[in-house]
Structure 1
Amino acid sequence: MPAPVVMVLGTASSVGKSTLVTGLCRLAARRGLRVAPFKAQNMSNNAAVTADGGEIARSTAVQAEAAGIQPTVQMNPILIKPEGGTRSQIVVEGRVWRALEALEYWQRKQELWSIVQRNLDVLRAEYDLVIAEGAGSPVELNLKAADIVNLRVASYAGARTLLVGDINTGGIFAQLLGTLLLMEPAERALIQGLVVNRFRGDPRLFADGITILEQRSGLPVLGVLPWVDDLGLAEEDGVALDRPPPPLHSGVPIAVVRLPHIANFDDLDPLRREAGVAVHFIDRPAQLAGMAAVILPGTKHTLAAWRWLVERGFDTALRRFSGSIVGICGGYQLLGLTISDPQGIEGQGGEVQGLGLLPIETVFQAHKRTAQVAGRARLPWAHDLPVAGYEIHMGVSRRRAGRPAMLLGAPDAAEPIEDGCVSADGRVWGCYLHGLFANHELRRAWLRTLGWHEPDFAPAAPDPYERLADLLEQHLDHARLTELLTP
């Protein structure tokens, strides 16, 4: 018998589906089950790389980690990476399939349903339980006919399905009851319970709300989950970048330029969680004032990011900036001499002059490099420190002078290769390594060059997965939770 599927649907995007799936994966794992996450289709520029070089959504990789397993492409067979306008790169089973306009993808979407089925079937054959996640709202009536991620998956798997809504945004009754109202009877029959997420204050004040939801829906409310400021999990949605910035003098100030189509911004999470560091996401050159360092992060569309930098005057401001400057992936490409796209990989193609802060030239190629890598840093203030991370990029950058920032190798590489570049004085540097600042020794070595001092006492950070699982155990109905997670 194939393993049962638990599915988490949401009333909209960013209501907490990914987080709930992550917590359920950890709960199932610590009950001794072999559990795997699944999301048929995800739209995100935050990606991760599997051990065999496949590309999946970062949130799915986080869920796999919570389950105590290695992520695989079967867990997220379709990844849509927006490139600008209505065009996106479509990644199927871990590899680039093609770049399509939204209408083109819509017209070809049904071709991918068999791929969704096949990959879900593989997981159901290998694990005791699969916990699947929907996307956006399951009842967008103009899109529902081509659905391959929400109710179609739930119906195919006969999934034990939960519906979650976000009370913090308001309108929780309209969210949950309205979503149920728009479902077909057979779809609604799949829903086994409701979850109210992100409640601020005393949940006893919502007791009558639970009664109303249960009476109107005929379904149990499994629980009311509290608002938590920071669970310590990698964020998937760009709305996370809209949080209020920290006070300017709350720590060593580091600016991150909020490039258009910003990618893998969870690269900055280790810095944001470091005591004595204040990370500011900025979009205007004037905000560079008083910063000790500036980071150009990854972006799905480097040429568009370059045009945006020039239009806003960042090109001049960055050349005048006297602090440390770091580029990661697309941000590294922007620091160079030239960026060339002769094959139109990023749309219309072309060539631009980079910031000229590092002696590298980048040419985009059709082949996309996706690999987990490890090696040693070659930075002057972090020479020979161990580093590990992953690469996702379509450009090849060649140094015309200077020295590499890293010496890296993939698991199947015969010899390590030079990656990145560092200026003669060590002030400007960059590389293709995502997960760069998750390397504890390297991160702190760089911060010390900015005047940061390690705190005398820093309490150990709690395991975010255990903390989340404990939260679910505390606030969700125990009997129904057990029933839900029983193979």
Structure 2
Amino acid sequence: MLAPVLMVVGTASSVGKSTLVSALCRIAARRGIRVAPFKAQNMSNNAAVTANGEEIARSIAVQAAAAKLTPSVQMNPILIKPEGQRRSQIIVQGRPWQTLEAIDYWQRKQLLWEIVTNSLDQLRQAYDLVIAEGAGSPVELNLKAHDITNMRVATYAQAQTLLVGDIDVGGIFAAMLGTLMLLEPEERQLIAGLIVNRFRGDPDLFTDGIQILEQRSNKPVLGVVPWLPQLGLPEEDAVALERPDQTTNNAALTIGVIQLPAIANFDDFDPLAQEQGVAVRYINQPHELQHCQALILPGTKHTLAARQWLTEQGFDQAIQQFQGPIVGICGGYQLLGQQIDDPEAVEGIGGSMAGLGLLPITTIFQRHKQTRQVQALSNLPWAKAYPLAGYEIHMGRTELLADQPAFSIQQAESTHADGCMRANGKVWGCYIHGIFANTEFRQAWLSRLGWQVQSAIQPIDPFERLADHVEACLEPNLLTKLLGQEIRD
């Protein structure tokens, strides 16, 4: 017998679907239900690596953690990583498949649909409940024939489906009622209820709004979820970087992260932003560097294009003259070197460009993609021999021109160098994503910048905080009411 599926779709992108799925996963898990998240297809350059070296969307790995599970590739069988110029790298079952334009991708939808259903069925066989997330809107009419993520999944699984709307951006009535109107009748029947998300103020003031939605939709409003600030979970999309509230006025230390084109895995820097007295500021113009005590060049899906963009924006001289510490992660590490070569046009355009010249390294792109979890020791003078954990996702091979490795990767029978540093450790880079999630290392680097460790406060588990917040706003025993005896004990 296959486990039931609870589906969460939204009126648009960035309405809070991923966060709601995380909340529902933790609510179910702490009731003893063996629950797994699922998203058929995700488009994001924020990725995670499973224990088997498979690449999935970072948001799915977060949902797996909420469900108290180790992430697996079945939870996100298809990952689309935009590369620019209308091209995307397609990751299927955790491995690079092809780099395609949209029309070529759509032509392969039947093959991909079989992969989606196989993955979903495997999860339904292994768990008591699967909570599936849609993507964007389920009623993008010009794209719906090619949609293998939203109501096609709900229909296949006959899933009880929640429709989520973001009231904070306005237009909640048009968004929700319009979405319901545009669904096919058989799809509309699967909608079990509506969730109004990100409400600011007193929810009791929305009583009339609930009545309007219920009367016009013939669907119950199952919850009004207030805005929850500073949750501490990674954002899925780079659109989050456009929000104005990225920094705090009382921060003693500001770290600048250059918002490169096709920025990837920017959640690497969330642990820095969560430290008291530290602000992470995403910058687009060279003059913004004057407000920063340290600078980070993040990962990017298109290193050569990012290098050209830095020159066009006038960053070259500003970075060279920056007096504070400079760090490069993955693509940002490559940018700090002497030379970047792409003879096989792995990134699409090919060619060679000089790097920023701050580290003695050269990088050449190859078609083999390195994806793995790693354990490492730091060689940096201010964090000597600190143990680290993280993961790598890259297609470049970097050669050190001087014996200055920043880290030593520990493998079963050997060690090898990763990253590079200047002798004093002021400028360094590496391929290790998640490096700042290592508390001892993170705080050592911040202390080097003059930051002082704040008084020890026992952190609240963000998943528990989220689950408490959402559960208090939903219909009591919502999962039982929706799924009844379908959930296996």
TM range (shorter): over 0.9
Question: 2:362 is aligned with what amino acid?
Answer: E
| Alpha-carbon distance in structure 2 between the residues aligned to 1:248 and 1:129 | 44
1:477 corresponds to: 475
The Cα of 1:228 is off from its aligned counterpart by 1.4
Question: 2:192 is aligned with what amino acid?
Answer: Q
2:439 corresponds to: 440
Cα pair distance change 1:260/1:368, threshold 3 Å: same
2:386 corresponds to: 385
Q: 1:286 aligned to 2:284?
A: no
- Give the 3-state SS of the residue equivalent to 1:434 in structure 2: coil
- Give TM-score, length-normalised by structure 2: 0.97
Moved more, 277-286 or 48-57: 277-286
Moved more, 7-16 or 457-466: 457-466
| Alpha-carbon distance in structure 2 between the residues aligned to 1:139 and 1:290 | 43
1:64 corresponds to: 64
Contact conserved, 1:298 with 1:329, CA < 8 A, in 2? Answer: yes
Contact conserved, 1:113 with 1:148, CA < 8 A, in 2? Answer: yes
1:356 corresponds to: 357
The Cα of 1:323 is off from its aligned counterpart by 0.8
| Alpha-carbon distance in structure 1 between the residues aligned to 2:169 and 2:470 | 21
1:339 corresponds to: 340
Question: 2:460 is aligned with what amino acid?
Answer: P
The Cα of 1:479 is off from its aligned counterpart by 3.5
Question: 2:430 is aligned with what amino acid?
Answer: C
2:458 corresponds to: 460
5+ long unaligned stretches in structure 2? none
Contact conserved, 2:50 with 2:72, CA < 8 A, in 1? Answer: yes
2:51 corresponds to: 51
1:4 corresponds to: 4
| Alpha-carbon distance in structure 1 between the residues aligned to 2:109 and 2:378 | 43
Cα pair distance change 1:230/1:407, threshold 3 Å: same
Structure-to-structure mapping, 1:295-314, within 5 angstroms: 295-314=296-315
The Cα of 1:311 is off from its aligned counterpart by 0.5
| Alpha-carbon distance in structure 1 between the residues aligned to 2:284 and 2:249 | 16
Q: 1:213 aligned to 2:223?
A: no
Q: 1:326 aligned to 2:292?
A: no
Question: 2:61 is aligned with what amino acid?
Answer: A
Cα pair distance change 1:330/1:485, threshold 3 Å: farther
Question: 1:414 is aligned with what amino acid?
Answer: E
| Alpha-carbon distance in structure 2 between the residues aligned to 1:470 and 1:72 | 26
Deviations 1:265-293 (A, max 9, x none): 00000000111112111011111114211
Structure-to-structure mapping, 1:28-47, within 5 angstroms: 28-47=28-47
Contact conserved, 1:366 with 1:394, CA < 8 A, in 2? Answer: yes
Contact conserved, 1:402 with 1:423, CA < 8 A, in 2? Answer: no
1:188 corresponds to: 188
| Alpha-carbon distance in structure 2 between the residues aligned to 1:373 and 1:22 | 26
The Cα of 1:250 is off from its aligned counterpart by 2.0
Contact conserved, 1:89 with 1:96, CA < 8 A, in 2? Answer: yes
Structure-to-structure mapping, 1:160-309, within 5 angstroms: 160-244=160-244, 245-247=246-248, 250-309=251-310
The Cα of 1:485 is off from its aligned counterpart by 5.5
Contact conserved, 2:177 with 2:216, CA < 8 A, in 1? Answer: yes
Contact conserved, 2:250 with 2:277, CA < 8 A, in 1? Answer: no
- Give the 3-state SS of the residue equivalent to 1:231 in structure 2: coil
- Give the 3-state SS of the residue equivalent to 1:478 in structure 2: coil
| Alpha-carbon distance in structure 2 between the residues aligned to 1:389 and 1:341 | 26
| Alpha-carbon distance in structure 1 between the residues aligned to 2:234 and 2:465 | 14
5+ long unaligned stretches in structure 1? none
Contact conserved, 1:297 with 1:328, CA < 8 A, in 2? Answer: yes
CA RMSD of aligned residues (A): 1.1
Cα pair distance change 1:213/1:349, threshold 3 Å: same
| Alpha-carbon distance in structure 2 between the residues aligned to 1:324 and 1:342 | 32
| Alpha-carbon distance in structure 1 between the residues aligned to 2:467 and 2:406 | 39
| Alpha-carbon distance in structure 1 between the residues aligned to 2:52 and 2:76 | 14
Question: 1:428 is aligned with what amino acid?
Answer: V
2:136 corresponds to: 136
Structure-to-structure mapping, 1:366-377, within 5 angstroms: 366-377=367-378
Contact conserved, 2:124 with 2:130, CA < 8 A, in 1? Answer: yes
Structure-to-structure mapping, 1:84-163, within 5 angstroms: 84-163=84-163
Question: 2:377 is aligned with what amino acid?
Answer: R
Contact conserved, 1:8 with 1:164, CA < 8 A, in 2? Answer: yes
The Cα of 1:247 is off from its aligned counterpart by 4.8
- Give TM-score, length-normalised by structure 1: 0.98
Query: Identity over the aligned pairs, expressed in percent?
Result: 65
Cα pair distance change 1:452/1:479, threshold 3 Å: closer
Contact conserved, 1:402 with 1:424, CA < 8 A, in 2? Answer: no
Deviations 1:112-165 (A, max 9, x none): 110001000110010010000000000111111111000000000010110000
Deviations 1:180-211 (A, max 9, x none): 00011110011101000000000000001111
Contact conserved, 2:160 with 2:483, CA < 8 A, in 1? Answer: no
Moved more, 242-251 or 350-359: 242-251
2:450 corresponds to: 451
- Give the 3-state SS of the residue equivalent to 2:444 in structure 1: helix
Contact conserved, 2:300 with 2:306, CA < 8 A, in 1? Answer: yes
The Cα of 1:111 is off from its aligned counterpart by 2.2
The Cα of 1:458 is off from its aligned counterpart by 4.2
1:419 corresponds to: 418
Contact conserved, 1:28 with 1:485, CA < 8 A, in 2? Answer: no
Question: 2:407 is aligned with what amino acid?
Answer: M
Q: How many residues in Structure 1 have an aligned counterpart in Structure 2?
A: 484
Contact conserved, 1:53 with 1:370, CA < 8 A, in 2? Answer: yes
